[in-house]
Structure 1
Amino acid sequence: MEAIVPVFTAAGGNRHPSAADWDEKSGLLAFGANNNVAIWNPLDEARRGISELLSGHTDVVNAVRFLRSKSRVQTLIVSGSADKTISIWGDREGSCSKFKRLKALNEHEGSINCIATLPDEDIFLSGAADATVKLWRLVWRQNEHASILDINLVQSISLTPRYFPLAVSISRLDAQSMILAIGGSKSTIQVFVSEESRFKLAASLTGHEGWIRSLDFTVEKEGQESDLLLASASQDKYIRLWRVHKGEELPAISSAANDPALGVIGRSLSNKAHRFTAGQVKYSITFEALLLGHEDWIFSASWRKCKGSRLRLLSASADNSLAIWESDPSSGVWISTDRLGEMSAQKGATTATGSAGGFWISLWSPDGKAVVSLGRTGSWRLWEYDSDADRWCAQDGSYFLSTGSDQTTRLFAEWKWGDKHSWHEFSRPQIHGYDLNCVDTIGTSRFISGADEKLLRVFDEPSAIAALLAKLAGVKSSIILGLSNKAIQVVDDHESVENGDAEDHEAIDPSSFVHKSTLDIDHPPLEDQLARHTLWPEVEKLYGHGYEISAATASHDETLIATACKASSIDHAVIRLYETKDWREVRPTLTAHSLTVAALEFSDDDQYLLSVGRDRQWALFRRSEESPTVYKLKRSNPKGHSRMILDCTWAPAGISNVFATGGRDKTLKIWRVGSHEVQCAVIHSVNCSITATAFAPCLISGRFLLAYGTENGAIELLSINSKSYELEGHRRISSRESSPLKTINQISWRPSTFESSRISDLQFVVGIDDGSVRLYSKLAS
């Protein structure tokens, strides 16, 4: 059996200001993605996206930092999670391409909230919800075969009065001393200095009126006598700058706040000098500047650390904007020179468009010529500086749909540009108010979804999205629909909504219209376009169920929809059929189960509808010869499995009498449908509950290829002789170290449009409970 590897991974970033870092040397960006650490090169010319997910944490990753050890060439990543543990990851053989976990630390008693590292040092700090900040030191020792990493706890700082640290930053004062700033769930910043490798409290900086969300030190200019600047960002909507100055005399600029010309503002800014000693050298910390401009909480503030370049600060706020700050050379006043993202007056933000929630993370690229930000939807945005135009420019690629508990439905397709190709999100057809549980396509231009509500919704592909997919991905749509009278309206480029027809545009949400040129682009849509201009119009609602929708599937001839809902009694454990021509419900409902129907699937020729449920049984319904919309119960097996059945799948085209089921009893069963009975042909036992199953769409050298996923995150392939039903091959797709560690929710093979006997021609996509979607294909040659 040929090797199968992931070729595309989609995973949303975690909304935590400390959950990402961009490495200066490797160019890699690491970010928390649910309980994983995602590795991505934002400036990769091939635009391949996430290269790998590092699995090991059991809860959300809140903090990620690269660590460059002075004693090793190896790239290290330090991550902290809500599971109270810290992981240290190292690239293999210095390749910067594959990481493995070298060490796990569990000394904290609360969720890890922040991590700080120091370039070319063997130390790092971690702050947690146990109200402590811990200092760690890396120690490498050599044995006969390899270098072994040990992590020593040097100091544990208990924060008093007790508060939760949310931001930490560390810098060197000189060759012997270091300075540490800690902020969090109170408005004061605590500053510590090192004395014989241990930190002691040196000052408490007051002035903010909200929680401290971000701290960052930088050297003001090159040279050993340079001052340090500390930027602090707060939920009070302000950024404060603080100056750390060497010597007994205060810096001249620190007296600016006492200038009578500043009036009330000047008198309200404290200019108290905090003095301390480190290694017999005297220092002072003074307030430097107050940065005004954001209209909501500020989550992130980071300095551009590029030698020989002007000092700049990047900030991210819940007001949906990034700001780049710079000191005016003549006056010394800090001003916002560039504004990226969405202006508050223009955004028209509503939670329905997904634009509310702002930016949580902002990072400079290693060369300072690009910035990235993470928004509410877990998506990244990239801007690059165009020196010729003197402005920042937003950058950026058949499809599959995914839906999840983030309340969105997303469409992914392969962008084909020149001789290159890469997968990207092309549309966000649905942004919902409920967690979404199931989705299925009805042909190439329509889909149905079910959520934690009692109805199902049908969506049609708009012409702008169809044209975009055809242009960039080569996807041909059988139905091209207009938007003129749908939820989203197309207007000419010169037409203004405010000045349009009052009857048509009165009180309209800006997100509900799109100019014709908006999606006339030569690259996959950017995040703001996805959230605003790629919605699909809803054309129908299907009623009838009494509880949350649990399963939905469409027939292959596109004429019927089968649906089910959560149920604790036989009254609600029914299957409802709807005709797609006029969306009429077909009566009577199909009954067989007594508890929730977990999965539904039509056979390839639509002669059978298979259902499995939490009542441990499967049921087989056969299409009536008199009416193609009527199905009647043919067989059911109340003891199909010894515990609840979680998924089912039909054999590929031309073999409509074989199906498979998998469930909580840790068995996978393959059944043969005869004229009078249904027999179990194969029982395959595993060590964990089976949560997802899928037959490949064609035979591979006369064999069935069956993929299944488990509750503990394993994905495996079985090769089964289609005549003797003997197991002839068994492969785990990837090692446990790199495979998912959370439940596999669904597996779907890419439909085969040709007669194939090679596994290398097939691909399948996997939806995982860690919030990621992964596309697998053959090993690239």
Structure 2
Amino acid sequence: MGISPEFISIGGNRNPAAADWDQDGGRLLAFGADNCIAVWEPEDENLSGVTAILSGHTDVVNAVKFFPTGSGNATVLLSGAADHSLKIWKGRKSEIGFGLVKTMSEHRSPVTRIATLPGSDVFATGASDGVVKIWKLVHDADFSTVDVELIQSISLTPRHFPLAIALAKLDESSLILAVGGTRSTIQIFVSRDTQFQLSATLAGHEGWIRALDFTKESDKEDSDLLLASASQDKYIRLWRVHQGEELPAVSSALNDPALGVLGKSLSNKAHRFASATSKYSVTFEALLLGHEDWIYTSSWRHRAGKLQLLSTSEDNSLAIWEADPSSGVWVCITRLGEISGQKGSTSATGSAGGFWIGLWSPDGDSVVSLGRTGSWRRWTYSPTQDMWTQQVAITGHVREVKGLSWSRDGAYLLTTGSDQTTRLFSEWKREQGSSWHEFSRPQIHGYDLNCIDTVNNVQFVSGADEKLLRVFDEPRGVSEMLNKLCKIEAASADRPDAANIPVLGLSNKAIQAVDENETPENDEDDDREAVDPASTVKKSTLEFDHPPFEDHLARHLLWPETEKLYGHGYEISAMAVSSDGSLVATACRASSIDHAVIRLYDTKEWLEIKPPLKAHSLTVTALQFSPNDKYLLSVGRDRQWVVWERAEDGVYALRHANPKGHTRMILGAAWTALVQPTFLTAGRDKSVKIWQINDDAVELKGSVAASAAVTAVACNREAEKSTVQFAFGTEGGELAVGIAGAEGLDKAATVALAKEVSPAKGINQIVWRPGRSEGGQQIAVASEDSSVRIFNIEG
């Protein structure tokens, strides 16, 4: 059997330095995702999404930067993380993915920033111990060998964390380094004989410095350098580095009447310093006003003969600035993102939590930004329309993915996890091919979500830390979109159009869609009651000819909630829906036999079937009904598995139990497709065991050894009746697929997935995709590294 990746979804880290778009031949965008680095090609016409995930760091990745190789063939990537290490990765254009070349552990605390300089082998890193280190990359012409030398360590005084670093070439003999961070001043260092010395301190900002970037003002040899500094004080300041004894002409932008009283207080003090060959001055050039909240990134780009600056802010906007040719005043010429008036009334669907990263594409005609939800947004400039239009980008969970479930026909995948969202992924089918995308965000919650299962093709149940389960129905807007884009059969018409979350609420309420000019009708007799505008949505908002963008996912594609299931006293730990969809079995976290019960609910009236099932003494970790629903299997932290059998009256009762099924806690359970009732259990004792029910006894038929604690196991229940096809995952992220014949359950053959394409952390759940009669099998995998992955199984 062969295993190959089909689709990867993972959200980006909320750190302004945690992403970079390669300006050289690769045109790849790399971003920190939990402890990993995800690689994406935004301009890929096939919309393949994340193509590789590099794992090696043991803590959150804070800084990612491409080293400017100047080569279209070789790509070098630098990454720094909270594990105090700096890693160098290398890739070739002909290969997918990167190989780890070297790890440096000279920093004593988390690495926060990396700065590189095109045309130079020098780069700088900053860490939260208040130290900036200067390095030199030693390599041959085609980067086949790569090594690193530490040139200098600069301890910032007064000590503060460097949140922004920028490097530039001052003249033939000197480099200039700007450092800003958890103080309101910017320190300028100039190199002499490879050693940097503090040469100036720029004051003026009133908050922490979040971003710094140098550029040459023009292509001329004697052009001045411009430094852009962005701060939490909501302003961007521009500084001019000028060569010579004489000061540059005072910028007329300082007399801009828009600055009002502010303009009079702006200091234009000149800071003078010298390199080995020349004298220089740094003067304040301009103040850019327009953002309403902290500014996280600012980066220069020469576009169409003009110098432009891209900035992103906590105010949910991305701005492009340009100097007015006649007055020299810097103005915002383009603003993208979410306008304040559109913000919803709850923190879930409203304020997106700001844009943390903004990047130019290599040609300057696209920009991307990353927001709080871990999703990327992309805009491309259209010269014919003279406007920026939003394009399809990638999305993903930003915390551990706890549970997943295919729809009953395998048409779409539902995922849920600790970032308090439930997401729906499916395949966008079009003439030129297909690609996977997030199509709906049915649930945005206030609690961490732990488990999910589908009742039928248009309904699912999810369990969370809030001790209850919620039932959701697919709205008509989502059903029609999936039908149009994914060729999924639409649900019946008598469904609510859409849903929203009321102010201060946790329950999604059904709302109606209205035409553009139509006003919603008030059902009440009292005309004085105003209709809540949030209770309706425009029909045009729910019409898509492409996968929805992040602003639609977070606001308009919720599913209405129809039921709540109460009864448990603690956080929901496991859940399963019966094969015929008529029953839901659930369990919660427990440390005593009173709470370690399994509760059953019927899906017609949504009432609990009493009494609850008692056998376990600690948390039940997994539940699964047999294919014909005759049995219910439960496993728990108390190391025992229990098989409950359904009687003639439909009530389940204890039939078999093994208090010592494994020597450590059992974490996974799965039924096979065999005619003779057979099930698998997976435990912390590094084994998967195969059991078979024969009349009055359960026999251990086989055991598969794993390299680490097994945290998830799943069987293909549509496999041939004479074979057991299964997959299991471990707490280290290893994934293996196995097969065994009905007569040789003790001789299971397994194939492990290559480490490069395996999850970086523990696997929480595996689910086989139903309805795969042709084109090979697929499995979906949920991992602690915040990724959702789909793999093809051949053979």
For Structure 1 versus Structure 2, the TM-score category normalised by the shorter chain is over 0.9
Which of the residues 421, 429, 443 maps onto 1:430?
443
Offset, 1:509: 7.2
| Letter aligned with residue 549 of structure 2 | L
Greater mean alpha carbon deviation, residues 638-647 or residues 385-394 = 385-394
- d(CA) in 1 for partners of 2:315, 2:351: 10
Offset, 1:249: 1.3
Q: Report what 1:610 is aligned to.
A: 633
Offset, 1:700: 6.0
What is the SS of the residue equivalent to 2:331? strand
Greater mean alpha carbon deviation, residues 695-704 or residues 183-192 = 695-704
Q: 1:481 to 1:775 in 2, by over 3 A?
A: farther
Which of the residues 488, 491, 506 maps onto 2:513?
491
| Letter aligned with residue 672 of structure 2 | A
- d(CA) in 2 for partners of 1:598, 1:201: 58
Which of the residues 193, 197, 219 maps onto 2:194?
197
Contact kept? 1:608, 1:622, Cα under 8 Å: yes
Q: 1:714 to 1:262 in 2, by over 3 A?
A: closer
Offset, 1:305: 4.2
- Using the size of structure 1 for normalisation, the TM-score is 0.94
Offset, 1:719: 1.8
Q: In the alignment, is residue 325 of structure 1 matched against residue 306 of structure 2?
A: no
CA-to-aligned-CA distance 1:43-66 (integer Å, 9 cap, x gap): 110001000100111111111010
- d(CA) in 2 for partners of 1:332, 1:499: 53
Which of the residues 333, 337, 362 maps onto 1:366?
362
Greater mean alpha carbon deviation, residues 602-611 or residues 508-517 = 508-517
- d(CA) in 1 for partners of 2:518, 2:272: 58
Q: Report what 2:653 is aligned to.
A: 632
- d(CA) in 2 for partners of 1:291, 1:585: 61
- d(CA) in 2 for partners of 1:727, 1:136: 54
Offset, 1:478: 4.8
Offset, 1:301: 1.0
- d(CA) in 2 for partners of 1:201, 1:418: 60
| Letter aligned with residue 433 of structure 2 | K
Q: Report what 1:122 is aligned to.
A: 121
Q: Which runs of 5+ in 2 are unaligned?
A: 394-410, 500-508
Offset, 1:779: 7.2
- d(CA) in 2 for partners of 1:230, 1:34: 31
Q: Report what 2:725 is aligned to.
A: 705
Q: 1:206 to 1:623 in 2, by over 3 A?
A: same
Offset, 1:120: 3.1
CA-to-aligned-CA distance 1:494-519 (integer Å, 9 cap, x gap): 24779988979978776653211112
- Using the size of structure 2 for normalisation, the TM-score is 0.93
Alignment map for 1:628-667 (pairs within 5 Å): 630-652=651-673, 655=675, 657-667=677-687
Contact kept? 1:55, 1:739, Cα under 8 Å: no
What is the SS of the residue equivalent to 1:119? coil
What is the SS of the residue equivalent to 1:304? strand
What is the SS of the residue equivalent to 1:265? helix
CA-to-aligned-CA distance 1:155-207 (integer Å, 9 cap, x gap): 11101100001111111112221111111111111111111111111111111
Offset, 1:300: 1.1
Q: Report what 2:135 is aligned to.
A: 136
Alignment map for 1:461-500 (pairs within 5 Å): 461-483=474-496, 487-495=509-517
Q: Report what 1:106 is aligned to.
A: 105
Q: 1:262 to 1:575 in 2, by over 3 A?
A: closer
Contact kept? 1:427, 1:530, Cα under 8 Å: yes
- d(CA) in 1 for partners of 2:193, 2:73: 27
Q: Report what 2:177 is aligned to.
A: 180
Q: Report what 1:401 is aligned to.
A: 414
Q: 1:80 to 1:612 in 2, by over 3 A?
A: same
Q: Which runs of 5+ in 1 are unaligned?
A: none
Offset, 1:259: 8.5
Alignment map for 1:77-476 (pairs within 5 Å): 77-92=77-92, 94-95=93-94, 97-140=96-139, 147-254=144-251, 257=254, 264-306=261-303, 309-348=305-344, 350-353=346-349, 355-396=351-392, 398-476=411-489
Over the residues paired in the alignment, what is the CA RMSD in angstroms? 2.4
Report how many residues are paired: 767
Contact kept? 2:476, 2:497, Cα under 8 Å: no
Q: In the alignment, is residue 575 of structure 1 matched against residue 581 of structure 2?
A: no
- d(CA) in 1 for partners of 2:354, 2:523: 32
Contact kept? 2:39, 2:50, Cα under 8 Å: yes
Contact kept? 1:621, 1:632, Cα under 8 Å: yes
| Letter aligned with residue 496 of structure 2 | L
What is the SS of the residue equivalent to 1:763? strand
Which of the residues 744, 762, 778 maps onto 2:763?
744
Q: 1:154 to 1:656 in 2, by over 3 A?
A: farther
Q: Report what 2:710 is aligned to.
A: 690
What is the SS of the residue equivalent to 1:464? helix
Contact kept? 1:70, 1:122, Cα under 8 Å: no
- d(CA) in 2 for partners of 1:334, 1:23: 28
Greater mean alpha carbon deviation, residues 260-269 or residues 691-700 = 260-269
| Letter aligned with residue 655 of structure 2 | K
| Letter aligned with residue 51 of structure 1 | T
Greater mean alpha carbon deviation, residues 185-194 or residues 506-515 = 506-515
Q: 1:668 to 1:263 in 2, by over 3 A?
A: closer
- d(CA) in 2 for partners of 1:673, 1:243: 80
- d(CA) in 1 for partners of 2:390, 2:527: 32
- d(CA) in 2 for partners of 1:642, 1:297: 53
Q: Report what 2:40 is aligned to.
A: 40
Q: 1:504 to 1:80 in 2, by over 3 A?
A: farther
Q: Give aligned-pair identity as a percent.
A: 56
- d(CA) in 2 for partners of 1:621, 1:29: 51
Contact kept? 1:234, 1:299, Cα under 8 Å: yes
- d(CA) in 2 for partners of 1:324, 1:739: 39
